[in-house]
Amino acid sequence: MRYTEFTSYDLILLAQGLGVSLGLFLATSAIGLVLGTLWAVARFYRVPVLSQGLTLLAELLKNSPVLVQLFLVFFGLPAFARINVTPVEAALITLSLNTAAFVFVIAVSGIEAVGRDQIEAARVFGLTRWQVLRRVVGPQAIAFGIGPLIALLVNQLQVTSLISVIGITDLTKVGNILNLRTLKPFVVWSVVGLLYYGAAKLVAHLGARLETRLRAHNSWRGL
């Protein structure tokens, strides 16, 4: 193998790798937020069997290594169920479900933080269960859960680095390619680390601004 110095094209490779990482992060975060919220709503309504099944699924997902989950989807589904999945599809399924499991836990904690007296008072005034969820429980649960949710998203951004092991050319994969080509690991991984750091700080900054606005809004509403 021929070892070479860095070139200007390496910057394009790093930008492309970062774009892949951020794209998968945004897609899986959006899917995970929707799924996790729906799971929490199903638990709030105490849907028979479904709520218990979703709780068990969330426990399995949040208490097992993400890399093992990724291998189960990418290698396990074709072998067990004869379902072929591409590396991108495997990453989408795995990271979305993993994010959903933690969103479910955060959402349930936020819902349970709302005083039962408020829920009972709302029902006395004739609000339906959906109205209670939307007008009383939901806004307060969001206010309680926004901080942990931001921390979760920052962590999930870093977890995307695992997808490189199944062949996706994300930022970590590009870093590995550059490292093997240049044999300058300190420089390569320092740059890769700084790019992840910058992306994580951006997510945290945007999340903190959103949290400030939500808390100010809920405070004004007297929640």
How many angstroms separate the CA atoms of 47 and 85, rounded?
Answer: 32
What's residue 3's pLDDT? 67
Our count of domains for the chain comes to 1
CA distances from 162 to 13, 68, 172, 196 (A): 18, 10, 8, 13
Q: Is residue 4 part of a domain?
A: no
For 35, the domain range is 9-220
Task: Note the pLDDT tens digit of each residue in 105-142.
Answer: 999 888 887 767 777 777 776 777 777 777 777 777 88
Q: Is residue 2 part of a domain?
A: no
Q: Which residues contact 9 (CB under 8 A, 6 or more apart)?
A: none
User: What count of other Cβ atoms lies within 10 Å of the Cβ of residue 205?
Assistant: 11
- Which token pair is 32? 């995970």
CATH classification at residue 174? 1.10.3720.10
Q: Residue 42: name the closest of 33, 34, 51, 53 by CA.
A: 51
* Stated pTM of the model: 0.87
Task: Note the pLDDT tens digit of each residue in 15-71.
Answer: 999 999 999 999 999 999 999 999 988 888 787 788 889 899 999 999 999 999 999
